[in-house]
Amino acid sequence: MRSPPPNRYRTAWAGDLRPGDVGADVRVAGWVHRRRDHGGLIFIDLRDRTGLLQLVFRPEEAPDAHAAAHGLRSEDVITAAGSLSPREEGTVNRGMSTGEVELSVTEMELLADSETPPFQIDEDTPVEEELRLRYRYLDLRRDQMRSAMELRGAITHTMRRHLHDQGFLEIETPILTRSTPEGARDYLVPSRLQRGSWYALPQSPQLFKQLLMVAGYERYFQIARCFRDEDFRADRQPEFTQLDVEMSFVEEDDVMRVCDQLLGAVLAVAGVEVSLPLERMAYDEVMLRYGTDRPDRRIGMDIHDLGAAFAGSEFKVFTSALASGGVVRGFRANGDFSRARLDELTERAKELGAKGLVWAVVESDGWRSPIAKFLSTEETADAGAELQAGEGDTLFIVADEERVAARVLGRLRIEVAGPPSGHDLFWVTDFPMFEWSDEESRWDALHHPFTAPQGDLDADPGTWRSRAYDVVMDGLEIGGGSIRIDRPDVQRKVFDALALSSEEATRRFGFLLEALRYGAPPHGGIAFGLDRVVALLGGRDSIRQVIAFPKTASGSDPMTGAPAPVGETQLRELGIRPSGAGSEGRA
């Protein structure tokens, strides 16, 4: 950080002082991180945002300061002045960036004292998360959180600078708005002035960013808060942050190229290098090779289709799966597996919905496998060649409906893998436009209903593809977007496929549909999950660790107590009958 403008509290940052500053008169301010009484001498590690500095209080040199230091306790706030000295030989601390120097204090003032904190700030001991969130302002003082916040700040700064340099304008869009199309449940806010009407908090700025393209802004971005009222799912937050981007007069490749450069800059903040442009892989191939559209490719063990190898097999499980339109697929695993582990994996495959799991160990004289006797040498040779299997490898094969085989092998691949290292980013393209919802017996948009379709729009919607693209990093989707529909007739077709009536579409998105009639340029964009990107780059396993004030899994904030009941008067003003929890009534 740039040196602070000197004032009554400080003339330097604690963490910045180095041997070159020895001899200078310095004043620092911050928190008592640690205190040690060594006979006559008192040592205090003073902490500010930049780091730690050792302060020494000597009774003979500064009796008043020394006496005052005697009473200091952890997390008290002080300002101290003195001259910077080199540490004595043998007391240099290499583990501390200011470890070669110390401040010989001549004057110290206590600015605020602290109660004993409910957990240690100066140590990285595990603390129950509920307690950390209850005292988040103390938790944020800890090194782990401070470094996460610094990384987050550096990343958002890089995003802003990079996009600004590329001609993107940062524009804010409303928080009090109408329902947006991401398909989750809305958070609603009652209107006091128009009783009976409600705002929705945006699930994303999707519609507004499209309107900004209609408005001619060409290149927009926003670091935007999004709100989705979803049931508990691992590592979700009811409000989260996206880097939201939209561009006009573009096709997929234009958006992806901008994003490649942006991601390169963002990853560099964390010292991660990737080779650009990022690889692009079509959805069908991704699903075949990894059984999921957000694979972790770092672990290898790609899935292969073995249908051709086993087409004429005597092993009925394979041939009947193929005959009924299913598939035979498998992967070659790294490592040895005990018999017990193989049985466990077979059980696991069944739990995941497969009828069974075939395993085989490649040995010098053929496959060792419970089904070896049903397989010809030619079949095992063909399958082995497809999987590039060599002696000692273990193979896992599933014969089932395509959906099941993909899912089960995709999961087993992860479960047998060791911990991956490094990072992997790539694009998934050419998604299906819709997925079938059994629950509602209609098509659902895989992205959102404003995503442009491609292919023959007179054919069965199940065959349509979309012009959407996702970025996957280390097995997680970190961004997704699409080229948008810019023609009312195409939008109508998509709504039809989604069984969304004209009335319903007009009621929900009428303003956008209207705007599309006033000269909408071809446009497209993307949104990146900022919390997720920071967590991945910071090596944190939860996005809560990179959000200053997150909510617990049940959506509450142990510090503020939100969500909380409100008084009857406030409810009445909003026209809501205060009849207790669960009431939906409005007066």
Residues that bind ligand ASP (CB under 6 A): 182, 204, 206, 480-482, 525-527
Cβ 469 vs Cβ 256: under 8 Å: yes
* Beta carbon of residue 478, minimum distance to ligand ASP (angstroms, whole number): 11
If the CB atoms of residues 286 and 478 are measured against ligand ASP, the closer one turns out to be 478
If the CB atoms of residues 461 and 480 are measured against ligand ASP, the closer one turns out to be 480
Cα–Cα distance between 395 and 387 in angstroms, integer? 8
* Beta carbon of residue 308, minimum distance to ligand ASP (angstroms, whole number): 38
What angle do the packed helices 143-165 and 252-269 form, to 10 degrees?
140
* Beta carbon of residue 172, minimum distance to ligand ASP (angstroms, whole number): 16
Cβ 286 vs Cβ 303: under 8 Å: no
Torsion of the alpha carbons at 427, 478, 203 and 452, rounded to the nearest 10: 0
If the CB atoms of residues 82 and 525 are measured against ligand ASP, the closer one turns out to be 525
* Beta carbon of residue 244, minimum distance to ligand ASP (angstroms, whole number): 6
If the CB atoms of residues 244 and 400 are measured against ligand ASP, the closer one turns out to be 244
If the CB atoms of residues 58 and 160 are measured against ligand ASP, the closer one turns out to be 160
* Beta carbon of residue 390, minimum distance to ligand ASP (angstroms, whole number): 43
Q: Can you list the alpha helix ranges (DSSP code H) found in 71-141?
A: 129-134, 136-139
If the CB atoms of residues 122 and 182 are measured against ligand ASP, the closer one turns out to be 182
If the CB atoms of residues 255 and 534 are measured against ligand ASP, the closer one turns out to be 255
If the CB atoms of residues 185 and 350 are measured against ligand ASP, the closer one turns out to be 185
Cα–Cα distance between 255 and 245 in angstroms, integer? 9
If the CB atoms of residues 259 and 317 are measured against ligand ASP, the closer one turns out to be 259
If the CB atoms of residues 54 and 173 are measured against ligand ASP, the closer one turns out to be 173
Closest to 427 measured CA to CA, from 468, 484, 464: 468
Pairing of strands 366-368, 358-363: antiparallel
**319 Cβ contact list (under 8 Å, min separation 6):** 310, 311, 312, 313
Cα–Cα distance between 212 and 209 in angstroms, integer? 5
Cα–Cα distance between 209 and 521 in angstroms, integer? 13
Q: What are phi and psi of 490, to 5 degrees?
A: -70, -40
Cα–Cα distance between 55 and 383 in angstroms, integer? 69
If the CB atoms of residues 238 and 525 are measured against ligand ASP, the closer one turns out to be 525
* Beta carbon of residue 217, minimum distance to ligand ASP (angstroms, whole number): 15
If the CB atoms of residues 141 and 484 are measured against ligand ASP, the closer one turns out to be 484
Cα–Cα distance between 492 and 513 in angstroms, integer? 9
* Beta carbon of residue 337, minimum distance to ligand ASP (angstroms, whole number): 39
DSSP character at residue 321: H
Determine how many CB atoms are found less than 10 A away from the CB of residue 341. Answer: 14
Q: Over the range 203-214, which residues count as b (16 or more CB within 10 Å of their CB) and which as e?
A: bbbbbbbbbbbb
Closest to 537 measured CA to CA, from 239, 273, 262: 273
* Beta carbon of residue 569, minimum distance to ligand ASP (angstroms, whole number): 37
* Strand extents, DSSP E, 198-238: 198-200, 219-227
* Beta carbon of residue 268, minimum distance to ligand ASP (angstroms, whole number): 24
Name the token pair of 417. 């893998």
If the CB atoms of residues 180 and 346 are measured against ligand ASP, the closer one turns out to be 180
* Beta carbon of residue 544, minimum distance to ligand ASP (angstroms, whole number): 20
Q: What are phi and psi of 305, to 5 degrees?
A: -85, 125
* Beta carbon of residue 285, minimum distance to ligand ASP (angstroms, whole number): 22
**409 Cβ contact list (under 8 Å, min separation 6):** 291, 303, 329, 330, 331, 396, 398
How many Å is the maximal CA-CA distance in the chain?
Answer: 95
∠ Cα 238 240 241 (to 5°): 165
* Beta carbon of residue 204, minimum distance to ligand ASP (angstroms, whole number): 3
Three-class DSSP category at 399: strand
Torsion of the alpha carbons at 420, 426, 427 and 431, rounded to the nearest 10: -30
Ranked by CB distance to ligand ASP, the top (closest) residue is 204
If the CB atoms of residues 220 and 359 are measured against ligand ASP, the closer one turns out to be 220
Residue with tokens 């409100």: 566
CA 143 to chain centroid: 21
* Beta carbon of residue 539, minimum distance to ligand ASP (angstroms, whole number): 25
If the CB atoms of residues 411 and 447 are measured against ligand ASP, the closer one turns out to be 447
Cβ 547 vs Cβ 238: under 8 Å: no
* Beta carbon of residue 191, minimum distance to ligand ASP (angstroms, whole number): 25
* Beta carbon of residue 481, minimum distance to ligand ASP (angstroms, whole number): 4
Query: Judging by beta carbons within 10 Å of its beta carbon (0-12, 13-18, 19+), is residue 249 exposed, middle or buried?
Result: exposed
